[in-house]
Structure 1
Amino acid sequence: MANTPRSSSLNVKENKLANEAKKRTLAILNDALKKKDALLLDDPREFEEHEKPSHFPLISTDLIIELISHLQKVTFRKSEDPKKIAFVYSKNRDGIIYLCPKFWAQHEFLELDSRPETLIKMTLRLIGYRNNEENTDISACPIEQACSIVMNHSTTYINGLFSCCGERSMDSVCENSLVSVSLRALRDAKPVLSRAEDFLEHVITKQSIRKRKNTARLVGKMLERVKKMRQSPLL
């Protein structure tokens, strides 16, 4: 490959740290899978009638399973590129993640600009995902940031647990995260709003209502509001 940057094997210390980061990232993804009822979609089409969220992640269970499968097979090489954190040759799909000096300066545990976030991002690239692609599994919010921010714990790990949800593992995501709260709101509201829309559409067709213009106008406005709420990605 003509423009391939020079790379080498990791030294003993770097190899140990890289494999620890890989183990930690796999634990985080497996934890998301364990908490899939609160955080993931078994069917990415569940909210297909809604307008696609602009900054809200809708991540499928299948994608997390695919990430775990590929990350398990990943190997590492060392690059001295001073501008990058890590990179892959996605066209090769060779399962190699090249780690640069900036990688070692990243946070050890899951958060923004952390090693687990980087490994999730690089694995996504190995399997062909791009943040700007239209895909039923994702939104405009990058998946790695969805894990490190909106699926992550809102409290600091103190006295052996995260107080936001009682989770004791540091390598985990939160069942009470923003993703969980938002998905629950959508799921709870869907049947209620659907029944309300059906009811209002039935009411507005009644002759007795149509004869009263002000009442018909009010019911019409209520119907428009319910329809708009049903189309909203975040109620």
Structure 2
Amino acid sequence: MHVKRCMCLCRAALETCSGPKCADGIHAGMSSREVIIRSKKENQRKCHISERDGKSHVPLTKDKMRIAEAARQSALEILRDAVKKKDRVLVKKSQFLITHKSKDPSFWMKRFALLTDQRVSNFISVLEEAKFMGDPSTKEVYAYIYTESGDKTIYLCPLFWKAPSSQLGTLIREASRFRSACDITKEAVSIDVGYKGLMVKSSLADPKNPKFNLLLNAVLNAKNIQYEFEVTLRHRGDYARGRYSCCGETARSSVCESAVPDDFFTSPNWR
């Protein structure tokens, strides 16, 4: 038996739940909320809360609004396509992640975020109603939001306009921050996931192991969510004659089904 424990991830690891025991009678022994709070304190990490006074906020020019709206539309098309292809590109909804010790590299897929179709649908709802404002004085970030204001406005900074290739991912990241994601770290590191996203390597689910932080990031970190779409689910082939060479997809703004290997859906050998 390779399974050692299950870790409760109720509602994207934000609700408290002790969870039942696994096959060998071992469970995490700590609620997800407790684990997340403890890990953040131990690593001196916290979600970023903006303290800007709002004096630098300006309406976008017509040209910049046109660019922002085009980026929004493309980002929405990508998110909707991910939901449409949920059985292939997203992870299966579950309250628990089961750990596994398999050393077979074909069993594992490197992913940046654990995203279900419901969570991506929440990002879509936010991005559909989001408003845009400019902040020309904030130089160090691409965009930011005020999570506590209730006003779903995304403030776009100079770096946003200088990096067209990151605009879609930036909007997806900011939308996720309205829906419980936060800035635990600015670095996105992938984790090894198996069997439709229900399994992770044993070290990732041990709160005492430093690698456990990588699992937290895959659930909560906004940058990881951005990288899941920009890196993991991107098309590797060229777009020519109305379709991508990697998977045959005809929609320009879309995710790639071929980005997820068939082994990701393989049931593990329990014996």
| Length-normalised TM-score, structure 2 | 0.61
Secondary structure of the residue that 1:10 maps to in structure 2? coil
Distance 1:143 1:18 in 2: 20
Which segments of structure 1 move beyond 6 Å, counting only runs of 4 or more? none
Q: Does 1:101 align with 2:158?
A: yes
Equivalence for 1:76: 132
CA gap of 1:137–1:69, structure 2 versus 1, over 3 A, is farther
Which residue in the other structure is 1:124 paired with?
176
Aligned amino acid, residue 152 of structure 1 = R
How far apart are 1:187 and its partner, in Å? 2.8
| Aligned partner of 2:248 among 161, 166, 172 | 166
- Does residue 147 in structure 1 map to residue 229 in structure 2? yes
RMSD: 2.7
Letter in 2 for 1:102: L
Matched with 1:40 is: 90
Asked whether 1:187 is paired with 2:265, we answer: yes
- Bigger RCO of structures 1 and 2 (CA < 8 A, at least 6 apart): 2
Alpha-carbon separation, structure 2, partners of 1:22 and 1:2 = 24
For the residues of structure 2 that align with 1:135 and 1:65, how far apart are their CA atoms? 21
Q: Residue in 2 aligned with 1:65?
A: 121
Higher fraction of strand: 2
Instruction: Decide whether aligned partners of structure 1 residues 93 and 42 sit closer, same or farther in structure 2, where only a CA change above 3 A counts.
Output: farther
Instruction: Report the TM-score, using the length of structure 1 for normalisation.
Output: 0.69
Q: Give 1:55 deviation, angstroms.
A: 5.4
Per mean C-alpha deviation after superposition, the further-off stretch among 22-31 and 78-87 is 78-87
Pair member with larger Rg: 1
1:135: Cα distance to partner? Answer: 5.8
CA gap of 1:83–1:125, structure 2 versus 1, over 3 A, is: same
Going from structure 1 to structure 2, the CA distance change for 1:88 and 1:154 (only over 3 Å counts) comes to: same
Q: Is the 8 A contact 2:218 2:225 kept in 1?
A: no
Gapped regions of structure 2 (runs ≥ 5): 1-50, 102-107, 185-212
**C-alpha distance in 2, partners of 1:30/1:137?**
21
Distance in 2, Cα, partners of 1:139 & 1:164: 30
Q: Is contact 1:90–1:128 with CA below 8 Å preserved after alignment?
A: no
In the alignment of these two chains, the number of paired residues is: 183
Residues in 2 aligned to 1:156 and 1:35: alpha-carbon distance in whole angstroms? 20
More displaced 10-residue stretch of structure 1: 77-86 or 139-148: 139-148
Where do 5+ consecutive residues of structure 1 fail to align? Answer: 109-113, 198-235
- Greater per-residue helix proportion: 1
